[in-house]
């Protein structure tokens, strides 16, 4: 067994929670059924992209190149600003179903470049234009094109002309299951010097604003000087941990709470709201971030100026390891060991995939297969949807007759709160049972346990309808999809039997 295979084994036998952290953050939580509290069931328009930076989500979080723990208590993702956009880029932009001339469509360039099955090493690329992102042009031009015309894409707008963009590579490496090293490398691909404000961001999913007795977690600054910033994290369920941002000019704190003043004109209970950091960066509103340096959302601030063709790497660490001495912390956390963890994890990823690749493959076949699998692994998401609770919040009581009919009202038994393989974390950030059956055939190539868990999950009583129906997807769990679950199950079984010599009948 190679090292990554050993990690899979340790995760399976619960010796070490190597899969506790992963790319479980969605790329789009707005416009989903879960966040839809409208009367009409118009999920796209009830929670549009334009609200996402200001309005707290109830059922999940989203972000760029992000990760979270497997309950999505804590999230980390990339945010950035090119000095010209009207908002900080915190999440991928795209057209809603009604807006696109061919339905919903993400209008960004991002690539899942690598991942091991335990996410001990991961790599993602985001291409960020230096010119103002053409939000309005994309909406208007696509609206004017009919169904017979092709989609108007971001490249068509000209913002990438002369290569005036940044390549932003985000890499993760786990020193141990909950000690995560994060490296962000920015390249200026353009012909001139350009500036970029890089804002790696850490935040808690808001579990405390919805009328339940949940303690508010806290992030607070421990240290900040020219060597960087350190924040301490405390959450009842997650325990204590530390966030180190080497060389950050400041740590900016706010709360992951709705800016009701901005959205509906009612005063905010606290001056620090979800878009506080955005308003500080874009509008220079110095009172939008908490001078006491605490909150439930923090960005490490890195103003960068990069010459043509120049690149810069910044280093971060999110760690559950106790800190001995804040003064020596940076030397300890970012010493030679930091580099060697990255180097080792990448080598182990290479060894894992080398063992998987058939000898006959040429380098291009290996590239395609590895990126296909990277995408499969990056498309895992924490999917949270307690349908019974959601229905009650919509005024539907269980076992009561003659109520109005709303979406999923026959599925009140469902409690979704698991890591599930998504078809596409922006376009379809909800599982689809028949898609999932096909995902499993590829996932089992790298992680048989995860693949089998996915098949079993759909049959659990928290998922399966009492009638025996497998849930289709959140738009209508009761839709009829092709019955491919049995095929995927026997396929997975026979594959394992052929591979291990023994099938898993249980």
Partner 1 sequence: MNRKDRAGNNAFEGGFLGLDNIGIFDRSSPLPTGGYLEQADGTAWMVLFCQNMLEIAVELAIVNPAYINITTKFLEHFLLIASGMIRPGEEGGMWDEQDGFFYDVLCLPDRRSERLKVRSMVGLLPFCAVTIFERKLLNKYPELGSIVSGHLNARPELMAFIHDPQKPGNNERLLGSILNETNLRRMLTIMLDENEFLSPFGIRALSRIHKDQPFIYRVGDQEHRVSYVPGEGDSGMFGGNSNWRGPIWMPVNMLILRALFQYYLYYGNSFTIECPTGSGKQMNLYEVAEEIGRRLTNIFLKDEQGKRPVHGTSQKFQEDPHWRDYPLFYEYFHGDTGVGVGASHQTGWSGAIARIMHLFASFEAQEILDQSKEKSVSQTRQPVRKR
Residues 334-373 that bind partner 1 (CB under 8 A): 356, 358-361, 364-365, 367-369, 371-373
Q: Residue 107 Cβ, how far from partner 1 at the closest point, in Å?
A: 10
Count other C-beta atoms under 10 Å from residue 360's C-beta: 6
48 touching partner 1, by CB under 8 A: no
Ranges within 427-456 binding partner 1 (CB under 8 A): 427-428, 434-435, 438-439, 441-442, 445
3-state SS track over 227-254: CEEEEEEEECCCEEEEEEEECCCEEEEE
Ranges within 224-263 binding partner 1 (CB under 8 A): none
Q: Residue 435 Cβ, how far from partner 1 at the closest point, in Å?
A: 5
1 touching partner 1, by CB under 8 A: no
Stretch that binds partner 1, among 172-180, 206-214, 248-256, 489-497 (CB under 8 A): 489-497
Among 426, 450, 463, 477, binds partner 1 (CB under 8 A): 426
Stretch that binds partner 1, among 10-18, 281-289, 387-395, 492-500 (CB under 8 A): 492-500
Q: Residue 372 Cβ, how far from partner 1 at the closest point, in Å?
A: 4
Alpha helices in 88-228 (DSSP H): 135-144
Number of helical (H) and strand (E) elements in the chain, helices listed first: 13, 21
Among 83, 136, 155, 307, binds partner 1 (CB under 8 A): 155
* CA-to-CA separations, 229 to 58, 295, 296, in angstroms, rounded: 30, 15, 16
- Evaluated on CA atoms 38, 92, 379, 254, the torsion sign reads negative
Residue 268 burial by CB count (10 A; 0-12/13-18/19+): exposed, middle or buried? middle
Tokens encoding 53 = 């930076």
424 touching partner 1, by CB under 8 A: yes
505 touching partner 1, by CB under 8 A: yes
Contact by Cβ (8 Å): 430, 424:
no
Among 375, 386, 406, 453, binds partner 1 (CB under 8 A): 375
Three-point CA angle 378, 59, 102, nearest 5°: 60
384 touching partner 1, by CB under 8 A: no
Q: Residue 96 Cβ, how far from partner 1 at the closest point, in Å?
A: 10
For partner 1, the closer of residues 227 and 441 by Cβ is 441
376 touching partner 1, by CB under 8 A: yes
- Using CA atoms, how far apart are residues 351 and 343, in angstroms rounded to an integer? 12
For partner 1, the closer of residues 231 and 440 by Cβ is 440
Contact by Cβ (8 Å): 384, 416:
yes
For partner 1, the closer of residues 8 and 420 by Cβ is 420
Size of the site for partner 1 (CB under 8 A): 77
Rounded to 10 degrees, the C-alpha dihedral 272/278/281/287 comes to -20
497 touching partner 1, by CB under 8 A: yes
Among 104, 114, 178, 275, binds partner 1 (CB under 8 A): 104
Three-point CA angle 459, 400, 408, nearest 5°: 40
Among 3, 113, 406, 415, binds partner 1 (CB under 8 A): 113
For partner 1, the closer of residues 8 and 281 by Cβ is 8
For partner 1, the closer of residues 308 and 372 by Cβ is 372
Ranges within 291-310 binding partner 1 (CB under 8 A): none
- Using CA atoms, how far apart are residues 416 and 486, in angstroms rounded to an integer? 21
In which element (H, E) is residue 380 found?
A: strand 380-386
Stretch that binds partner 1, among 110-118, 223-231, 314-322, 391-399 (CB under 8 A): 110-118
421 touching partner 1, by CB under 8 A: yes
- Using CA atoms, how far apart are residues 192 and 307, in angstroms rounded to an integer? 6
- Evaluated on CA atoms 159, 166, 424, 414, the torsion sign reads negative
Q: Residue 135 Cβ, how far from partner 1 at the closest point, in Å?
A: 18
Ranges within 49-78 binding partner 1 (CB under 8 A): none
45 touching partner 1, by CB under 8 A: no
For partner 1, the closer of residues 321 and 481 by Cβ is 481
Write out the DSSP string of 138-169: HHHHHHHS-TTSPP--TGGGTTTGGG-EEEEE
Q: Residue 490 Cβ, how far from partner 1 at the closest point, in Å?
A: 5
97 touching partner 1, by CB under 8 A: yes
For partner 1, the closer of residues 152 and 243 by Cβ is 152
Stretch that binds partner 1, among 12-20, 94-102, 239-247, 257-265 (CB under 8 A): 94-102
Ranges within 162-221 binding partner 1 (CB under 8 A): 163, 167, 189
Contact by Cβ (8 Å): 186, 196:
yes
Stretch that binds partner 1, among 12-20, 64-72, 341-349, 423-431 (CB under 8 A): 423-431
Stretch that binds partner 1, among 16-24, 286-294, 397-405, 488-496 (CB under 8 A): 488-496
Sequence-distant contacts of 351-359: CB under 8 A, at least 24 apart: 351/2, 351/3, 351/4, 352/2, 352/3, 352/4, 352/5, 352/116, 352/117, 352/446, 355/2, 355/5, 356/445, 356/446
For partner 1, the closer of residues 37 and 361 by Cβ is 361
- Using CA atoms, how far apart are residues 189 and 186, in angstroms rounded to an integer? 9
- Using CA atoms, how far apart are residues 440 and 454, in angstroms rounded to an integer? 7
- Using CA atoms, how far apart are residues 390 and 380, in angstroms rounded to an integer? 23
- Using CA atoms, how far apart are residues 263 and 140, in angstroms rounded to an integer? 23
Among 1, 13, 40, 150, binds partner 1 (CB under 8 A): 150
- Using CA atoms, how far apart are residues 250 and 243, in angstroms rounded to an integer? 13
């Amino acid at each position: 067994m190679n090292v990554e295979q050993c990690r899979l084994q340790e995760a399976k036998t619960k010796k070490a929670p190597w899969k506790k952290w992963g790319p479980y953050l969605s790329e789009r939580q707005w416009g989903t059924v879960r966040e839809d509290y409208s009367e009409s069931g118009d999920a796209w328009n009830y929670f549009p992209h334009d609200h996402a930076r200001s309005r707290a989500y109830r059922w999940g979080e989203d972000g760029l190149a992000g990760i979270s723990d497997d309950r999505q208590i804590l999230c980390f993702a990339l945010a950035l600003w090119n000095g010209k956009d009207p908002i900080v880029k915190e999440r991928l932009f795209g057209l809603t179903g009604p807006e696109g001339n061919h339905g919903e469509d993400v209008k960004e360039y991002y690539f899942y470049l690598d991942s091991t099955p335990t996410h001990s090493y991961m790599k993602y690329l985001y291409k960020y234009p230096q010119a103002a992102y053409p939000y309005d042009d994309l909406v208007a031009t696509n609206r004017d094109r009919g169904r017979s015309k092709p989609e108007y894409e971001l490249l068509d707008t000209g913002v990438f002309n002369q290569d005036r963009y940044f390549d932003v590579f985000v890499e993760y490496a786990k020193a141990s299951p909950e000690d995560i090293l994060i490296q962000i490398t920015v390249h200026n691909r353009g012909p001139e010097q350009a500036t970029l404000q890089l804002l790696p961001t850490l935040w808690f999913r808001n579990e405390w604003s919805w009328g339940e007795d949940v303690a508010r977690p806290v992030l607070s600054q421990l240290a900040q000087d020219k060597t960087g910033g350190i924040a301490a994290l405390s959450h009842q369920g997650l325990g204590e941990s530390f966030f180190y941002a080497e060389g950050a000019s400041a740590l900016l704190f706010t709360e992951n709470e709705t800016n009701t003043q901005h959205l509906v004109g009612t005063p905010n209970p606290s001056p620090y709201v979800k878009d506080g950091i955005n308003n500080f960066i874009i509008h220079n509103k110095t009172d939008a971030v908490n001078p006491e340096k605490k909150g439930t959302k923090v960005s490490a601030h890195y103003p960068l100026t990069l010459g043509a063709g120049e690149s810069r790497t910044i280093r971060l660490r999110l760690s559950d390891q106790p800190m001995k001495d804040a003064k020596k912390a940076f030397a300890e956390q970012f010493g030679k060991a930091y580099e060697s963890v990255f180097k080792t994890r990448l080598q182990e990823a290479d060894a894992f995939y080398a063992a998987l690749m058939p000898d006959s493959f040429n380098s291009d076949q290996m590239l395609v297969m590895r990126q296909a699998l990277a995408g499969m692994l990056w498309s895992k998401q924490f999917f949270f949807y307690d349908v019974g609770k959601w229905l009650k919040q919509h005024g539907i009581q269980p076992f009561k007759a003659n109520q109005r009919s709303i979406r999923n009202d026959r599925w009140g038994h469902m409690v979704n709160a698991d890591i599930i393989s998504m078809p596409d974390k922006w376009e379809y950030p909800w599982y689809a049972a028949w898609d999932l059956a096909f995902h499993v055939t590829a996932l089992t190539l790298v992680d048989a346990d995860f693949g089998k868990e996915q098949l079993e999950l759909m049959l659990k009583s928290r998922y399966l309808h009492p009638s025996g129906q497998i849930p289709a997807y959140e738009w209508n769990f009761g839709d009829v999809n092709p019955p491919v679950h049995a095929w995927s199950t026997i396929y997975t079984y026979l594959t394992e039997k052929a591979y291990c010599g023994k099938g898993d009948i249980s």
